[in-house]
Amino acid sequence: MSILFSVIFFVFILHSLLASTEGFVMNYYNSIFYNQTDQHNSLQCNLDLRLIKEIRNYQPIIYSIINRVTKGDFKGLVYEELSNFTDKFGSRQSGTENLEKSINYTMDLLRHYNLENVHGEPCMIPVWIRGKEYAEMITPRNHSLNMLGLGGSISTPPDGITAEALVVNSFDELHERAAEAVGKIIVFNQDYVSYGETVVYRSKGAVEAAKVGGIASLIRSVTAFSLYTPHTGQQGYDKNVKEIPTACITVEDAQMLRRISERGEKIIIHLYMEAHQQQMKMSRNTVGELVGYQEQKKIVLVSGHIDSWDVGQGAMDDGAGAFVSWFSVALLKNLKLQPKRTIRAVLWTAEEQGLIGVQQYIKDHFNELENFDIVMESDEGTFTPEGIEFAGTDSAACIMQEIGKLLTPLNMRKFKVRDSVSSDITMITKYGVPGATLLNKNDRYTWYHHTNADTMTSLDSNDLDKNVAAYAAIAYVIADLSIEIPRENSIF
Ligand SMILES: [Zn+2]
């Protein structure tokens, strides 16, 4: 009897201890995340305790991922591989031989790091050639304007365009002064509000200028900060509006031109551009995998785009994003962490010309989209990561938020839900597939991207390591969880 009583008493004590330990762990997590509830878009989560426990049980694995890349022999390796790549190839514009050679090189690299099923998937991409280009103010004084033609722009006539400038601060001002615009080069000196809000001047400036009779447009670069750096980027014509040559100029010159015009002085600009479109060419999306051990056809996708503009080294946009993505898979492979489902790295081609690579990928893989657990992309900088940005249903967001808590050792505590995240993957998430990217301290992203300053010098090796750790951790947990990320609103 006494032995039986002792056993019962022991089991009772053990159970109480375990329960209080669990309570302690819960309180610990809740306390570190208590201060960030305002960043959760008031997400009301009521996750199954067993699921919470399952997710938290991954913490030791997450530590091993983080330690390997922030302290172990993988530390600094992604920076080294990316610098080998960007120093060798430089910028990788769509349609160039250089981009295709860089894709061949990357496929070899993926194989070297033991990714599986490494291959390229064909995709026809547009080819835009910048050619020779320059702009100069010739009245009231001679001054060379630092400029970059915008992607998709047409050329000027062979002798260039010499015309008076009309400098406006907004589309509204242009419309108010429409009568003055005819036959002029329209200079937009719009203030920078945010990239998302201001970029419309780059993408639609030429169309708005042409609508009121402008013969060319020069757009103030879309950036929060400038050291006399012009920023290129894609722009689009409207088939019902006359196409005119268009380029970006620096913030400094746009502001100067505005000041001169406000003094009532006449400004004459000479613009010369050889920009033109050529025949479409074949490129490839680059793919490599870590095949799951149980549900091989279920996919967790991590990605970035391998093409860049033809300026700088395309290191930040998006060499770093592309490398961080495939390298996170290489890290898991090296750690011999094989999840239930497959983790697939995809390096999109021709993102800059209008998300071309991902659109081909969707056409080729449409029937497979129902097997996608989540799609992720790094294309908004690889600065110090601070958390996760997620697109998906509330119940999916609650799971993602819980997974995000595993990244506390990286000091990542933020969680944001948005309708769509990143660039290429928005084309996939619109079909109801959950999407995610990392929130990072990317205030300086637009200082560099699409400029000659987009080089390795803008990147930090330790930050790249942390990005790798975070993508590897998130991808691994989602690919290995007992459940898939829910998607109630899916078309599937
Ligand atoms: Zn990009």
Tell me the pLDDT tens digit for each residue of 238-255: 999 999 999 999 999 999
Q: Which of 133, 351, 352, 380 is catalytic?
A: 351
- Residue range 49-126+279-480 in CATH 3.40.630.10: yes
How would residue 385 be classed by pLDDT, with cut points 50, 70 and 90? very high
Looking only at the bridges linking them, the beta strands covering 385-391 and 435-440 are: antiparallel
pLDDT of residue 489: 56
Q: How far is CA 299 from the centre of its chain?
A: 20
Distance 125 CA to ligand 1 centre (A): 16
- Which is nearest to 261 in space by CA: 218, 231, 221, 211? 218
pLDDT at 43: 84
Tell me which amino acid residue 50 is: R
| CA distance linking residue 180 with residue 424, whole number of Å | 40
Q: Is the pLDDT assigned to residue 297 strictly greater than 50?
A: yes
Ligand 1 centre distance from Cα of residue 25 (Å):
39
Mean pLDDT over 206-210 rounds to: 98
Mean pLDDT of the chain: 92
Residue range 442-446: average pLDDT? Answer: 94
Q: Please report, for the chain, the start and end positions of each structural domain, with discontinuous segments joined by +.
A: 49-126+279-480, 131-274
Closest CA to 258 of 220, 302, 212, 298: 220
**19 class by beta-carbon count within 10 Å (0-12 exposed, 13-18 middle, 19+ buried):** exposed
Task: Give the mean pLDDT of 467-490.
Answer: 92
Q: Give, in order, the Cα–Cα distances in Å from 250 to each of 51, 380, 449.
A: 52, 22, 14
Residue 234 DSSP one-character state: B
The mean pLDDT of 300-311, rounded to a whole number, is 98
**pTM value > 0.75:** yes
pLDDT tens for each residue of 119-176: 999 999 999 999 999 999 999 999 999 999 999 999 999 999 999 999 999 999 999 9
- Once rounded to an integer, what is the mean pLDDT over residues 340-364? 98
**d(C-alpha 36, C-alpha 363), whole Å:** 39
Choose the weakest-confidence range: 7-21, 203-217, 222-236, 247-261.
Answer: 7-21
Return the C-alpha torsion angle 166, 168, 171, 176, nearest 10: -70
Cα–Cα distance between 338 and 294 in angstroms, integer? 10
H helical segments located in 290-393: 321-334, 356-365
- Looking at residue 41, what is its pLDDT? 53
Query: Residue 351 catalytic?
Result: yes
Q: What is the pLDDT of residues 40-93, one digit of tens each?
A: 456 889 999 999 999 999 999 999 999 999 999 999 999 999 999 999 999 999
Q: Which pLDDT value is given to residue 63?
A: 98
pLDDT at 44 (0 to 100): 87
pLDDT class for 416, splitting at 50, 70, 90?
Answer: very high
Pair 95, 125: CB distance under 8 Å = yes
Cis before 140 (ω within 30): yes
Instruction: For 3-48, write each residue's pLDDT tens digit.
Output: 544 544 444 444 444 444 433 333 333 333 323 333 445 688 999 9
Residue 224, pLDDT > 70, answer yes
How remote is the CA of residue 196 from the centroid of ligand 1, in Å? 13
CA distance 121 to 472: 24
Q: How far is the CA of 380 from the centre of ligand 1 (A)?
A: 7
From the list 188, 207, 198, the residue with the least C-alpha distance to 254 is: 188
Query: Would the pLDDT of 327 be above 60?
Result: yes
Q: Could you confirm whether domain 131-274 is CATH 3.50.30.30? A: yes
User: What is the pLDDT at residue 31?
Assistant: 33
Least confident of 28-42, 156-170, 270-284, 369-383: 28-42
